[in-house]
Structure formats: C-alpha cells, structure tokens
Amino acid sequence: MSDATISSAPALDLEAGRAGRRHLISRIVIYGLLTFFAIIYLMPLWVVFFNSFRPLAEISANGLIAFPQSFRLDAWPQAWSEFCIGGQCAGMQRYFWNSIMMVVPATIISTAMGAITGYVLSKWKFRGSEIVFGMMLLGVFMPGQIALLPWAFILGKIGLANSVYGLVLVHCIQGLAFTTLFCRNYFVGIPDDLVKAARIDGAGFWRIFYRIILPISPPILIVTVIWQFTGIWNEYLFGVVLNSGANQPITAALVALSMSGTTVRTYDVMSAAVLIGALPPLLVYFFGGKYFVRGLTQGAIK
C-alpha cells in the first residue's frame, strides 16, 4: 500500500531511542482502539453471516447472536430461488437481476455525463458556468420524497413507467449532481496550461478530453463509480414506488423481508437474503475501497 508512505504522521521513530517504552505503549493503545472499533463494526456482519448457516430452531433457542452449533447451507439456495416475496415464491433471484440491469447502465451513464459536464465546467468555462455549477449542485440536497410524484408523472408521459429503464433515467439525473461535483473538483486541479498547450497544437474539445483529461482521471472515476453503484443499488423509495411486480429492484425485496407483518420470521433465510442483497456493493467496496480515500483526497473535498 502506497498510502502509508504519504502518511502525514510525524516520524515517531525519531523519538524511538529516547522513549522506546512510551512508543510501545502508544502502539498498544492505537492497536487496542483499532481492534475495539473493528469488533463493533464487524459484529452485525458476523451476526448475519453466522445466522445464514444456523438452523432456525437453533436461532430461536440460542438467540440471534451466537456461534453456529451446526452448519447448513439450505438457507442460501432458498433465499436465492425459493423464498416467497410479494406473493411469488421465486426468491431474490429476479430482483437481483433487475438491480444489475438497472445499476450497471445507470452507473456508467451518470459517471460519463458527470465527467463530461465536469470537464466543461472546469476547462471550458463560459459566462455563468459557475452559477450553472452551483445550481446543479443543489441536486445533491433534494429529499427523495419531493421528487416521487413528479417522476411518476414524467415517466408516465414518456412511457417508461414501471420499467427498469425508467429507474435508470431517474438515477442518471439524480446522480448528475454528485458525479459532476466529483469530476469538476478533480479537473479544476489539472493545470490549465496543459489544456492551453493542447489547443495551440490544434486539439479540439473531444481530443483534449480523451488524450489529456481521461488518462489522469481514474482515481476520481473510481470514486464516482463506487459512489453511484452503491447509491443506486441501495436506493429503495423509487424502486418500490415507481416499479411494480416483476420489475422491482432488490431493495424492494429487502423491504418486503424486513416488514413481513404477521408471519413467522425465518431469520436464517432472511440472513442469507440480506447478504445476497448487500453483496455487490460490498464487493465493490472491498475491491475499490483503497482507491476511495485517495480519490477523495484528490477531488471530492475542496
């Protein structure tokens, strides 16, 4: 990890000779605290993970938080393809694919649009471009409940009501504020001279974008993609309300699980279902997380 090398920490080892013992104690305190927080942070994950392998009888006898006494895999295939959600016993499967069909195009399109808009708003400024940026930024703060009925109306008018494409459109536009913010702030840091020089060499709008901007953008594009992917995957209000039946995303199924009113709670299958529902964004974080802080350092907070 190269991050460690850019640590701002003062060189503690300078003092090592003078106060070796103090150093050791401070190390113990640091790792102790880190471990303490790590346990708190991991507990919920640990609970769901174990419960997905524990038989229901064991969960009701020993409580929700316990090590498995026995081990069985049944809950997973049940959650994936048999569990009854919303009156249909076909598991999380179809919701999962709906979410994939929604999240992949929506993430790609909103990131691309944000990159281009950010590029214009930082490198091709025009009169009023700062104001345009400021106003687009307001989208970050819009509460979702306000947009629900207007979206329903618009999607109905353009014939995308109750379709995964409708949700793609909604998420692209709602995500623009974030993606533009991230990309624009990152691009501002690229020296204008680079762009000027390229222009003098006769490079046009798109050429500069492809040849100069894009090659140095991966850090911020990764941040943007992580942000959009997790945000869109996890959004539930629009998924539940704008789409119905076979077209709902996975969060709709999770809501159905968490509020299954008058029936017995099948904690084992629910645990497996919850993990299936959380897996894709978790994977994205586990693999992309290390770029997140770096990207943030370079772009998002300014």
Partner 1 sequence: MNFKSKVALGAAATITAALLSGTAMAEPKVLMLHQWASGNDAASIAKLGEMFTAKGGTWEQTAIAGHTANTLAKLRADVVAGNAPAAVQLKGPEIAQWAATGGTADMDELATTEGWDAVVAPELLPVMKPQGKWVAAPMNIHRINWIWGNKAAMESVGVAELPKTWADFNAACDKAIAGGKVCLAHFSADWSDATTFETVVYGQDIDLYRKAFVEGDVDALRSPEMIKAFDQMKLMVSKYMDPAIAGRDYDTAANMMSNGDALFYIMGDWELGRLVSLGKTPGSDILCGQSPTDWDGNGFILNSDSVVFFNQNNPDFQEGQKLLASTILSPEFQTVFNIAKGSIPARLDVDLTQGFNACQQQSQAELKGSIEGGTLVRSMAHNMTVLQKYRGAMMDLITEFVNSPEMTSEEAANLMADGVEAQM
Partner 2 sequence: MSSAGYAAMAGGNSFWEKLKSWTPIFVIAPAVVASFVYVFVFSGWTMYISLSDSTLLPTYGFKGLENYASLWANRRWGVAYSNLFFFSGIFVLTTMAVGLLLALLLDQKIRAESFWRTMYMYPLAVSFIVTGTVWQWLYNPTGGIQFLVQSMGWTDFEFALTTDRKNAIWAIIITGIWQSAGFTMALFLAGLRSVDGDIIKAASIDGASTFRIYRKVILPSITPIFLAVAVVQLQSAIKTFDLAVALTNSGPGISTTFPATYVYDLMFQRGQIGEGAAAAMMILAALAVVLVPYSMYLGWRRRREVVHV
Indicate the residue among 165 and 291 with the shorter CB distance to partner 1. 165
Percent helix, strand, coil in the chain, to 5, is: 75, 0, 25
Asked if residue 47 binds partner 2 (CB under 8 A), the reply is yes
Q: Which stretch binds partner 1 (CB under 8 A): 1-9, 197-205, 208-216, 236-244?
A: 236-244
Select the binding partner of residue 244 from partner 1, partner 2, none (C-beta < 5 to 8 A, by kind).
Answer: partner 1
Name which of residues 83 to 122 contact partner 1 (CB under 8 A).
Answer: 84-88
Name which of residues 14 to 73 contact partner 1 (CB under 8 A).
Answer: none
Q: Which stretch binds partner 2 (CB under 8 A): 76-84, 88-96, 212-220, 230-238?
A: 230-238
What is the amino acid identity at position 209? F
Name which of residues 68 to 127 contact partner 2 (CB under 8 A).
Answer: 113, 116-117, 120-121, 124-127
**Neighbouring residues of 179: CB distance < 8 A, sequence distance ≥ 6:** 110, 111, 113, 114, 115, 117, 118, 224, 227, 228
Asked if residue 259 binds partner 1 (CB under 8 A), the reply is yes
Indicate the residue among 101 and 237 with the shorter CB distance to partner 2. 237
**Neighbouring residues of 269: CB distance < 8 A, sequence distance ≥ 6:** 75, 78, 79, 83
Residue 85's DSSP bridge partners are: 88
> Among 18, 21, 127, 157, which residue interacts with partner 1 (rule: CB under 8 A)?
157
Q: If DSSP codes are grouped into helix, strand and coil, which group holds residue 9? A: coil
Rg of the chain in Å (alpha carbons): 24
Indicate the residue among 62 and 88 with the shorter CB distance to partner 1. 88
What's the half-sphere exposure (Cβ side, CA atoms, 13 Å) at 206?
0
Asked if residue 261 binds partner 2 (CB under 8 A), the reply is no
Closest CA to 140 of 165, 169, 173: 173
Asked if residue 146 binds partner 1 (CB under 8 A), the reply is no
Q: Tell me which residue has tokens 């090659």.
A: 215
Q: Rounded to whole angstroms, how far apart are CA atoms 91 and 253?
A: 9
Asked if residue 6 binds partner 2 (CB under 8 A), the reply is yes
Cβ at position 212, least distance to partner 2 in Å: 15
Closest CA to 164 of 86, 222, 220, 244: 244
Indicate the residue among 59 and 212 with the shorter CB distance to partner 1. 59
Residue 88's DSSP bridge partners are: 85
> Among 16, 20, 44, 214, which residue interacts with partner 2 (rule: CB under 8 A)?
44
Burial status of residue 7 (CB atoms within 10 A of its CB: 0-12, 13-18, 19 or more): exposed
Q: Tell me which residue has tokens 């997905």.
A: 52
Angle between helices 20-51 and 267-295 (to 10 degrees): 140
Select the binding partner of residue 34 from partner 2, partner 1, none (C-beta < 5 to 8 A, by kind).
Answer: partner 2
Q: Which stretch binds partner 2 (CB under 8 A): 58-66, 75-83, 159-167, 210-218?
A: 58-66
Select the binding partner of residue 261 from partner 2, partner 1, none (C-beta < 5 to 8 A, by kind).
Answer: partner 1
User: For partner 1, how many residues bind (rule: CB under 8 A)?
Assistant: 30
Contact residues: partner 1, CB under 8 A = 84-88, 148-149, 152-153, 155-157, 161-162, 240-242, 244-245, 255-265
